Amino acid sequence: MRCFVVLIHGSFLPRLNFGSEASAAGFYTTRWVVSSDERAAVVKAFASARRELADTQAEIRDGLVSVDMEAEEVGAGSWWRWLKSGGRGFTFYRDK
């Protein structure tokens, strides 16, 4: 098993509404995962990001907004960073 860091770029279809005026077209997030290879690391990272989004956004949890994700970068990760948090949080953007 190895530690990987995965930079994820995601987009929402349709846009995710955060309030009356704010909406998000997509996001970036970084996840640290332990896996046997890069492919499995990407699958774990996507699952982690999807779980966190569904926990905080009812539109995603209820299937009103779909999430499309791609791994922008996959590389060797830090075991210390994985033990500390595994990566949480998102940076959202409005325009593509």
Q: What is the pLDDT of residues 30-66, one digit of tens each?
A: 999 999 999 999 999 999 999 999 998 888 888 888 8
How is the chain split into domains, by residue range? Answer: 2-93
pTM, 2 dp: 0.86
Cis bond upstream, residue 14 (ω within 30): yes
Please state, in angstroms and rounded to a whole number, the distance separating the CA atoms of residues 57 and 42: 22
Handedness of CA 77, 40, 88, 2 (dihedral sign): negative
CA distance between the termini of the chain: 36
Which residue is listed with tokens 């830090």? 78
Q: Which ranges in 1-96 belong to alpha helices (H)?
A: 38-56, 58-61, 79-84
Better pLDDT: 14 or 41? 41
